[in-house]
Structure 1
Amino acid sequence: MNDVIQLLQRHRSIRRFKPDPLSAEQVAAILRSAQLASSSSNVQAYSVIGVTDPAKKRELAVLSGNQPYVEECPLFLVWCADLLRLRHACERQQVEMVHGTMENFVVATVDVALAAQNAAIAAESLGLGIVYIGGIRNQPAEVTRLLQIPRLVYPVFGMCVGYPDQDPDPRPRLPLQAVYHENSYSAEPFREAIDEYDQIMREYYRRRTGGKRDTTWSEEMAAKFRQAARKHLRAYLEEQGFGFE
């Protein structure tokens, strides 16, 4: 394996950070790497809000579900799907932009995810650690007000960035046969692969918690998907101009 593959396969989510700030050069390198991610038709339908203000990070930590590492990390990046810049480009050409479509929503959401993952890899290559914060969608309207996010933009997730102050074990992933299909989709490998993975994750949780957590991946997923989550998102997205036509 080469150095890039080794870096990718060493990824861990970091939730404890040293207070040391990032340099301007590090931040620029991370964001420039994000910008060079693939983008659908080069629309680059995303923006990033870097939050270093302690008061704002403290409020974002609460809004994200009382996650302390949002406040403690030196840099909190809020990754936003963004159609506003595209509307301005259309107006420069005296064209009225059609924005309220499912396709535009998907394109912007995928664009920001690709850019963020490039940023994550760049940060880790610099010896930094990251963790994604989906909790930014818990109260998106409040996040929108706090960060003055305009219409046609919405926060997809946050990302804590900083020097790691912990060394957690990598979290095991599903066996490859559960996620890779050759030539056509097949659900046949699921049962055996999930049985194997459940045992791996049970041992992982036991080891990580000193025996206090005794559960499997299937049990965790059943608890997560037994009810709808964040049902407020559709109304919020429509208010922000992301339609579903």
Structure 2
Amino acid sequence: MTDERGAVISELLRSHRSIRRFKTDPIEPELIERICADAIQGSSSSGNLNTFALVLTEDPARKAKLCALHYEQPMIRQAPLLITFCADVHRTRRWLTLREARDNFNNLQGFLVAAFDAIILAQSVALACEAHGLGICYLGTTIDAATEIARTLELPETCVPVTSLVVGYPDEAPARRDRLPLAAYLHRERYQPPADADFLDLYAERESKGWQRYQALGPDMAAKMAEHGITSLAQFYTSDLKYAPARCEATSEQFSQLLVEQGYTDRLRGTARRKQG
């Protein structure tokens, strides 16, 4: 029995794909609630405080507003469901207040624990969706647009969006994305960085396949790469076409300010004041 369950889980993990084209078929409300309930039950949480919140968006008009914040990714309008996962210590702090306990968790540690709780839950929801034949795609743009998402969803103090899932029935069957060889990730007893030559060998297939994939996006992308003098996948990843350092710094600053605005945290508030001064 154990081997059978292990085989099922292994197959589920190996069959993961990020889906970006969805059928318009609605998802039964009972299935959504079952998936969420099972995922919450099956997800580890620090101190069992469960410092997360899920905001389900199905209304087309509300999805359209969020789609605009997520850089107008078409799959958001197309899929029947968007789930925003939030680091939420607001609920816990309200419980503390009502029970006349000392306030806490509106600090950096509280945010980090809540964010990790929310991410753990998001992956459990993703696996549960896939087990029920649904497709999912994570939205990394949640961090970029976190301030406006928080306002749109009317999130209370010390509740901050950290990731989102688009969910629906798949209308495509994309190829599996490559991963680096296991040796690139796995360290025994201590972190053991390989020599440069061995390190580049670990990335050789990724460099080749990734370069081909982005070049295949069309002549416009190839022309833009040439215009920016990009000759490798590594260069592309930190170029202005992908993850430009200046843009990442700006997003980091915006997210830090959002934490301050949402009631996290004295240490960050002091940092913000020093930078302004």
TM-score in same-fold range (> 0.5): yes
Equivalent positions of 1:126-141 (< 5 A) are 126-141=132-147
Task: Give CA-to-partner distance per residue, 1:132-171, whole Å, 9 cap, x none.
Answer: 1121232323222221111110111111000011111111
Superposed CA offset, 1:39-91 (max 9, x none): 00101000000000101111111101121111111010011110011011111
Within 2, Cα distance between the matches of 1:81 and 1:180? 29
Provide, for residues 4-39 of structure 1, a one-character-per-residue CA deviation record: whole Å limited to 9, x for no partner: 111111111101100001112210121012212000
Say if 2:81 is the partner of 1:79. Answer: no
For residue 254 of structure 2, the aligned residue among 222, 232, 243 is 232
- Taking every aligned residue pair, what percent have the same amino acid on both sides? 31
Contact preservation (8 Å) 1:198, 1:216: no
Q: Would you say 1:91 and 2:97 are equivalent positions? A: yes
Equivalence for 2:275: none
Are 1:177 and 1:189, in contact at CA under 8 Å, matched by a contact in 2? no
Distance change >3 Å, CA 228–CA 211, structure 1 → 2: closer
Q: Which has the higher helix share?
A: 2
Residues 1:5 and 1:189: Cα distance change in structure 2 (over 3 Å): farther
Task: Determine if contact 1:177/1:193 at 8 Å carries over to the other structure.
Answer: no
2:95 maps to a residue whose letter is A
Aligned residue in 2 for 1:221: 237
Instruction: Give the partner amino acid of 1:58.
Output: A
What is the DSSP-based 3-state SS (H/G/I as helix, E as strand, rest coil) of the residue aligned with 1:8?
Answer: helix
| 1:222–1:189 Cα change, 3 Å | farther
In structure 2, what residue type is equivalent to 1:226?
P
Once the two structures are superposed, the pairs formed by residues 51-200 of structure 1 within 5 Å of their partners are 51-188=57-194, 191-200=197-206
Say whether the 8 Å CA contact 2:57–2:83 is kept in structure 1.
yes
Larger relative contact order (CA 8 Å, sep ≥ 6):
1
Superposed displacement of residue 120, structure 1: 0.2
Name the SS for the 1:105 alignment partner: helix
* Structure 2: gaps of 5 or more residues: 1-5, 223-230, 268-277
Contact residue 180 and residue 206 of structure 2 kept, 8 A: no
Larger Rg: 2
- Aligned residue pairs total 245
- TM-score, normalised relative to structure 1: 0.91
Shift in CA distance, 118/189, structure 1 to aligned 2, threshold 3 Å? farther
Q: Does 2:28 match 1:23? A: yes
Alpha-carbon offset, residue 100 of structure 1: 2.9
The CA deviation string for residues 88-139 of structure 1, in whole angstroms up to 9 with x for no partner, is 1111220231233221111000000000100000000011100011212323
* Residues 83, 166 of structure 2: 8 Å contact kept: yes
Measured in 2, the distance between the counterparts of 1:149 and 1:101 equals 17
Structure 1 Cα separation of the partners of residues 61 and 232 of structure 2 = 38
Kindly tell me: are residues 2 and 86 of structure 1, through their superposed partners in 2, closer, same or farther at Cα, counting changes over 3 Å?
same
For 2:54, which of 48, 59, 64 is the aligned residue? 48
Could you tell me which runs of 5 or more consecutive residues in structure 1 were left unpaired when the two chains were aligned. none
Q: In the aligned structure 2, how far is the partner of 1:191 from the partner of 1:12?
A: 31
Where 1:11 maps in the other structure, the secondary structure is coil
The 2-side partners of 1:59 and 1:89 are apart by 32
Judge which range, 143-152 or 44-53, deviates more: 143-152
Distance 1:190 1:27 in 2: 47
Structure 1 letter corresponding to 2:235 = E
**Equivalence for 1:7:** 12
Separation (CA, whole Å) in 1 of partners of 2:238 and 2:24:
37
